[in-house]
Chain A
């Protein structure tokens, strides 16, 4: 039975996952179900109530590098973090999975896209393992990893995918053996917008700036006016970021000035940090739901799958769910084990490709900061 180990480190999360693809005799049609919030930690076989192919997660470990509040993580520090942690995580994963070297069929790693130095550290680790253990390498596209893992976990058959993270914002639909990008952010990713906004207000980065913004937003009430930049199927966030950073500075200034607090025109109440978080979330998430809806309408899809770190956000999931329900469809999302960058998705997508005969020879086991989702031939689907 094929087993793969996957290494992920395109941003500040280092993930190591070990996956098993059991052989399945019968070709059961997939049975989609909503939002898999499994209680299982290590193993996860849904062979009976779940879509094929059922996968078994033998280990899924992650360690995150967070920089202090007010700062973002730098490539060289992140790479150093990954180098410090990878051996430990690999050993721990092997132990947890209870597998031997001989059982592993391939070493999967993130070829891209992402940040150069961190990707490089992980690629070196993968190559080292490959040579030490004499196992083939499989380079995986990070976005395809998210999509394939999302499909496997949720059972969504052919959804429109919204992939949103600190580094990516894409609306994807499958067509003719490619994950085609229908719409995307034209300048910065939505997660990047959220992360940089967090810095201006010194919102902590631990466990993730987006998570902390979400908690603050829950207490926000006032919706201020931000530019709403949807251009057809695409979105743009740099204008919104500039405006919301301006608001953050205005808020800080008003809190320390003698002129008094910044008050909302309508209610007369003082604007708070929570209101800014609320405003930003409501605006950018509405934009994302809108472009997803457009893609669904254009393609005629009923299912939406949300993947990527920003996909963990409950408000986004709620908005997406309401939109999908209005259209007679449904939304599929995973929990933080799979939304946030992880090694298991790399192992999963890599193993699928390996089973199709795909290999990455050592000489070609490079990494790249730019790797478009539609560059990968999805030859495991019709």
Chain B
């Protein structure tokens, strides 16, 4: 068969489906394509070879990361044996009442993968990144921004409650998916949010560095990464990050408060440390 897309790994290189490059992140290339049916949008995540790394290291990392990402997504979606309790509530108090499967719909579903060739196909998430949404928002919409940040805190809390730590929380890894069109709305085109509006569902993406952990330290570091990334990307809105943490604490209850206290220690470490051992 002729190679229609030589830059893609097999079997996509000989596929006649459409592939649109959406993003070239540090780790991977993201394409929009279709899966099984021309109307079903899918995300194809390709982890290309990084020739600047030693080949052995590169292969090892690619394999580990694709598998880890897929396992975590499957667990969070609560499907199959990988969901741990088989969908039942797990006894560990740190996991909270939500348990596994709580994030179905809030993370992309896994549809296929090949860890040797370095690709993963997932459900396509409509919308923009939270980063873009914040940049594009209506200037005066502080309430909307606070609500959005609260939603972010809530979703991260659910994630931690399900026993997963994202590992790379930034506003580029949070999507804002428009809500389903409501019936009877006048004036507003169905399914299309006004560009400046901050409404929608927060969906987590890019679980390439996620780990399955319930430790307070890991959860606190996860929040710290988000806090610092937020401060660097949205310096003017830095003060409102407290909304994220407040919602997090509320959603995760006692465990959440412990993590927030731990976060203070993690922050102090950044301030105080000397890097000489």
Which of A113, A187, A192, A323 sits near B52, CB closer than 8 Å?
A: A323
A interface size (C-beta, 8 A): 52
Known A-B contacts A113-B274, A298-B233, A370-B273; A231 and B167 likewise in contact (beta carbons under 8 Å): yes
Query: A176 contacts which of B25, B50, B235 (Cβ < 8 Å)?
Result: B235
Q: Whole-angstrom distance from the CB of B103 to the nearest CB of chain A?
A: 19
Q: Which of A169, A228, A327 contacts B275 (CB 8 A)?
A: A169
Q: With A182-B232, A286-B54 as known contacts, state yes or no: A196 contacts B274, CB within 8 Å.
A: no
Q: Are B275 and A230 in contact (CB under 8 A)?
A: no
Q: Measured between alpha carbons, how far is A321 from B52 in the docked complex, in Å? A: 8
Give bound CA distance, A192 to B275, whole Å.
8
**Chain A 79-95 interface 0/1 with B at a Cβ cutoff of 8 Å (1 = within):** 00000000000000000
A369 to B233, CA, bound (A): 28
| CB-CB under 8 A for A223 and B233, given A231-B209, A290-B26, A370-B272 | no
User: Chain B nearest CB: distance from A281 CB in Å?
Assistant: 10
Interface assignment of B120: CB less than 8 Å from any CB of chain A: no
How many residues does chain B have at the interface if contact means C-beta atoms less than 8 Å apart? 36
Contact between chains at A294 and B26 (CB < 8 Å): yes
Nearest residue (CB) in A for B275 is A189
A241–B27 CA distance with the chains assembled, in angstroms:
25
A233-B229, A298-B172 are known contacts. Are A319 and B53 too (CB-CB below 8 A)? yes
* Chain A 349-369: CB-based contact to B (< 8 A → 1; otherwise 0): 000000000000000000001
Instruction: Map CB proximity to B onto A270-286 as digits: 1 under 8 Å, 0 otherwise.
Output: 00000000000011001
The reply to whether B26 and A297 contact each other, CB–CB distance below 8 Å, is yes
- Chain B residue with the shortest CB-CB distance to A169: B275
A374 CA to B228 CA in the complex, in Å? 12
Q: Does B277 contact A (CB under 8 A)?
A: yes
Verify if B240 is at the interface (C-beta below 8 Å from A).
no
Q: Are A370 and B24 in contact (CB under 8 A)?
A: no
Residues of B near A299 (CB, < 8 A) are 232-233
Interface string of B148-182 (1 = CB under 8 A from A): 00000000000000000001111010000000000
Contact among A225, A238, A297, A319 with B277 in the assembled complex (CB-CB below 8 Å): A238
Of the residues B26, B53, B60, B229, contact of A296 by C-beta under 8 Å: B26
Point out the residues of chain A lying under 8 angstroms from B276, CB to CB: 115, 166-167, 188-189, 192
Does B260 touch A at the CB level, under 8 Å? no
Contact B274–A369 (Cβ < 8 Å): yes
Residues of A within 8 A of B275 (CB): 167-169, 185, 187-189, 192
CB pair B274 A233 closer than 8 Å: no
Chain A proximity mask over B33-51: 1 for CB below 8 Å, otherwise 0: 0000000000000000011
Q: Which residues of chain A are near B24, meaning CB under 8 Å?
A: 297, 327
Q: Does A105 count as interface, using CB distance less than 8 angstroms?
A: no
Choose among B26, B51, B209, B271 the residue that contacts A370 (Cβ–Cβ < 8 A): B271
* Residue A293 is within 8 A (CB to CB) of chain B in the complex: yes
B251-277 residues with Cβ-Cβ distance < 8 A to A are: 269-277
B52: chain A residues at CB < 8 Å are 286, 289, 318-323, 326
Q: A302 at the A/B interface (Cβ < 8 Å)?
A: no
**How far is it, in angstroms, between the C-alpha of A231 and the C-alpha of B233 when the chains are bound?**
18
CB distance from A160 to the nearest CB of B (A): 11
A68 → chain B closest CB, angstroms? 19
For A98, list chain B residues within 8 Å (CB): none
Q: Are A322 and B51 in contact (CB under 8 A)?
A: yes
Is A372 on the interface with B (CB-CB < 8 A)? Answer: yes
Known: A282-B53, A298-B172. A196 touches B277 (CB 8 A): yes
17 A-B pairs (CB sep. < 8 Å): A167-B275, A184-B270, A192-B275, A223-B57, A228-B57, A228-B61, A231-B167, A286-B52, A286-B54, A289-B52, A290-B26, A294-B27, A321-B52, A326-B52, A327-B24, A370-B273, A370-B274
Which A-B residue pairs are the 10 nearest by beta carbons? A322-B52, A189-B275, A297-B26, A294-B26, A293-B26, A232-B225, A319-B52, A188-B277, A232-B168, A282-B54
Q: Which residues of B contact A (CB under 8 A)?
A: 24-27, 50-54, 56-57, 60-61, 167-170, 172, 209, 221, 225, 228-229, 231-233, 235, 269-277
Binding site for B on A (CB under 8 A): 113, 115, 166-169, 173, 175-176, 180-182, 184-189, 192, 196, 223, 225, 228, 230-234, 238, 241, 282-283, 286, 289-290, 293-294, 296-299, 318-323, 326-327, 369-370, 372
17 more contacts with CB within 8 A, not counting A167-B276, A180-B235, are A169-B275, A180-B231, A189-B275, A228-B61, A231-B167, A231-B209, A286-B53, A286-B54, A289-B53, A290-B26, A293-B26, A297-B25, A297-B26, A298-B172, A298-B229, A298-B232, A326-B50
